[in-house]
A and B are shown apart, each in its own frame.
Chain A
């Protein structure tokens, strides 16, 4: 037994500062957040009374919050579809072998290095809602290409305005999904393709029965990553429209409630976000932890 302690004592000691810090700042603060969300602390006055899940019931029956969830849903669907489509197409084209692959890869991926705040500056201009003679940004391009009917007021449109907000997000993250898919393509053993070709499989059958099944774990991770990012979208919206009702999502609504000192409500919104994220992440963490164990 003493031997055991001598073996695992030092490593545990080395890692314990991290465990303690994260214990406090991740798990501890989440617990405090949930606790605050169950009080009536709606102002700076610290008088707190336990109100159970009242704040959650109020939130889920409130039109404004449901509207922010709806916005988030539209944003998420468009964002996922866009990044997956572009990411896959780029990876697929690059995997077929092109000259100067590194350059294409770097260009497609570079928006990832830029902050949402910086790209928000230019996208606010590109998504300018003026039309006709006063049009600038994308509307001006449509106008001069004779595609005037495509002009629209972008994020000023009700509901589908969120699809416009998703455009910059797609621009920034498609390269990332490309990198994931490309690594997926490159992870498929060449022998598998060769074998399928030897068996006389057509190109389509090769994809249908060999490549797609091999890529599906990558596609799943990409899907989880993108939806997870989507849940947290905040910077981009703040940079393009500020926190206005039209483009409100739970994360920006939470900022509005916190800055008006409604601590209980902002904590409740945050908990809803955490639950949504956990639904995505926890099964994934468990799955990968299990897979790793069985591989050992």
Chain B
């Protein structure tokens, strides 16, 4: 395995899954004592904060616009803070800012439930299969193991358009429904390569002695896997489950080709809500975008370290 081409993928002693981002012990001379150093530091922080503002700007827009009742949406004040409380109607009995949120919630909530039913099993099942594959590919030598690994990995890099025409035809000829059950199968299948890759690299980082010992004990492969490997696999599972959950949740391509708004996931429902919106009523669409992003954002905020771990291995191949 090359060392630099796959950041965060090389076997590490501590099996850290932060994708190699951890700080090295700093032995750099401290700057900031001199005047020039201080100005440089201030400039650097100013720049970093400027970038934070730029990156957060769309979130501000989403939030502010979602809280404005349609009557208050006006190009001149479109960047401004809402001028009234979200529960205050523009006129007696008129729409409030909160109405955007209730509109969005009504439009999205059935699809939100379906998307959980899709993304969670998809994540669990491909992770489990991925862990078996990863275990085999990392520890057991069999003829052409490298070829098999590359064979599996290739599936991760194809543009899914390349299989979409036959897949749609297949769905029609088997009479599969245009809902999340079809999408579940598809996400499990096309999640296999990435889960295999993540687990293989994770298992490479587990000391070989642990598994060798159980082999000497006479334990078969399946027993080694069940009693030694699986209990050690939790960090790997966290990474693949987050990765699979996020990609199934955020998927739009498969959802559009293989399902419809009546039975499909939240990405379809959101796009439907947004495309139907006139400029005057962006509020509901923006509230919807926030609602639909909340699950993946929460995962990112709570388990960010593992999210990055998956990202790094998701990007790079070995």
Q: Point out residues on A near B: beta carbons under 8 Å.
A: 7-8, 10-12, 14-15, 17-19, 21-22, 25-26, 29-30, 32-33, 36, 86, 90, 93, 96-98, 101, 104-126, 128, 130, 133-137, 140-141, 144, 171, 175-176, 179-180, 182-184, 186-187, 190, 194, 214, 217-218, 220-221, 225, 228, 231-232, 234-235, 238-239, 242, 250-251, 254-255, 258, 263, 266-267, 269-271, 273-274, 277, 281, 284-285, 288-289, 291-293, 295
Task: A133 to B4: give the CA distance in the assembly, Å.
Answer: 52
Residues on A with beta carbons closer than 8 Å to the beta carbon of B34: none
B131-186 contacts to A, CB under 8 A, are 132-133, 135-137, 140-143, 146, 148-155, 157-170
Task: A184 to B189: give the CA distance in the assembly, Å.
Answer: 32
B154–A110 CB distance below 8 A? no
Q: Which of B78, B152, B159 contacts A140 (CB 8 A)?
A: B78
Residues on B with beta carbons closer than 8 Å to the beta carbon of A180: 7, 312, 315
A254–B161 CB distance below 8 A? yes
Residues on A with beta carbons closer than 8 Å to the beta carbon of B76: 133, 140
Where chain A touches its partner, the secondary structure class is helix
A277–B61 CB distance below 8 A? no
Residues on A with beta carbons closer than 8 Å to the beta carbon of B190: 25
Check A258/B164 contact, CB under 8 A, given A122-B58, A218-B5, A277-B158: yes
B164: nearest chain-A partner, CB-CB: A270
A289–B150 CB distance below 8 A? yes
Task: A137 to B6: give the CA distance in the assembly, Å.
Answer: 39
Q: Which of B22, B129, B257, B317 contacts A284 (CB 8 A)?
A: B317
Q: Which of A96, A122, A242 contacts B44 (CB 8 A)?
A: A96
A231–B20 CB distance below 8 A? no
Task: A120 to B2: give the CA distance in the assembly, Å.
Answer: 37
Task: A106 to B305: give the CA distance in the assembly, Å.
Answer: 9
A225–B318 CB distance below 8 A? no
Task: A4 to B23: give the CA distance in the assembly, Å.
Answer: 45
B165–A267 CB distance below 8 A? yes
- Can you add 18 more A-B contacts, CB < 8 Å, to A113-B297, A281-B154? A15-B132, A22-B189, A25-B190, A33-B162, A90-B51, A104-B52, A107-B52, A110-B55, A113-B299, A115-B292, A117-B267, A118-B290, A123-B58, A126-B61, A141-B79, A179-B308, A179-B311, A285-B150
B172: nearest chain-A partner, CB-CB: A44
Check A114/B293 contact, CB under 8 A, given A30-B162, A140-B75: yes
Write the nearest CB–CB distance from B120 to chain A, whole angstroms: 17
Write the nearest CB–CB distance from B18 to chain A, whole angstroms: 9
Where chain B touches its partner, the secondary structure class is helix
Q: Which of A98, A179, A187, A228 contacts B157 (CB 8 A)?
A: A228
Task: A97 to B31: give the CA distance in the assembly, Å.
Answer: 10
Task: A270 to B52: give the CA distance in the assembly, Å.
Answer: 38
Q: Point out residues on B near A: beta carbons under 8 Å.
A: 1-8, 19-28, 44-45, 47-48, 51-52, 55-56, 58, 61-62, 65, 75-76, 78-79, 129, 132-133, 135-137, 140-143, 146, 148-155, 157-170, 189-190, 192-193, 196, 220-222, 225, 246, 249-253, 256-257, 267, 270-271, 274-275, 279, 282, 285-286, 288-290, 292-293, 296-297, 299-301, 304, 307-308, 311-312, 315-318
B140–A258 CB distance below 8 A? no
Check A119/B58 contact, CB under 8 A, given A18-B133, A22-B193, A136-B78: yes
Residues on A with beta carbons closer than 8 Å to the beta carbon of B246: 113
B78: nearest chain-A partner, CB-CB: A136
Residues on B with beta carbons closer than 8 Å to the beta carbon of A124: 274
Residues on A with beta carbons closer than 8 Å to the beta carbon of B62: 121-122
A140–B79 CB distance below 8 A? yes
Write the nearest CB–CB distance from B269 to chain A, whole angstroms: 10
Residues on B with beta carbons closer than 8 Å to the beta carbon of A112: 300, 311
Check A118/B166 contact, CB under 8 A, given A26-B154, A187-B3, A292-B2: no
Task: A92 to B278: give the CA distance in the assembly, Å.
Answer: 42
B296–A115 CB distance below 8 A? yes
Write the nearest CB–CB distance from B10 to chain A, whole angstroms: 8
Write the nearest CB–CB distance from A144 to chain B, whole angstroms: 8
Q: Which of A17, A19, A194 contacts B148 (CB 8 A)?
A: A19
**Most chain B CB within a 10 A radius of its CB, from A12, A19, A180, A293:** A180
B152–A93 CB distance below 8 A? no
Task: A238 to B293: give the CA distance in the assembly, Å.
Answer: 18
Q: Which of B21, B142, B165 contacts A36 (CB 8 A)?
A: B165
A93–B47 CB distance below 8 A? yes
Residues on A with beta carbons closer than 8 Å to the beta carbon of B170: 29
Check A125/B165 contact, CB under 8 A, given A98-B45, A217-B4: no
Q: Which of A110, A121, A135, A254 contacts B274 (CB 8 A)?
A: A121
Residues on A with beta carbons closer than 8 Å to the beta carbon of B316: 221, 225
Task: A14 to B75: give the CA distance in the assembly, Å.
Answer: 61
A171–B162 CB distance below 8 A? no
B27: nearest chain-A partner, CB-CB: A190
A10–B221 CB distance below 8 A? yes
Residues on A with beta carbons closer than 8 Å to the beta carbon of B318: 288, 292
14 A–B pairs (Cβ distance < 8 Å), ordered by A:
A93-B48, A111-B55, A118-B293, A122-B58, A122-B61, A140-B78, A140-B79, A176-B311, A179-B19, A180-B7, A194-B27, A255-B257, A270-B159, A284-B317
Check A137/B78 contact, CB under 8 A, given A176-B311, A186-B22: yes
Task: A239 to B27: give the CA distance in the assembly, Å.
Answer: 47
The 3 nearest A-B residue pairs measured at CB: A183-B7, A8-B142, A115-B250
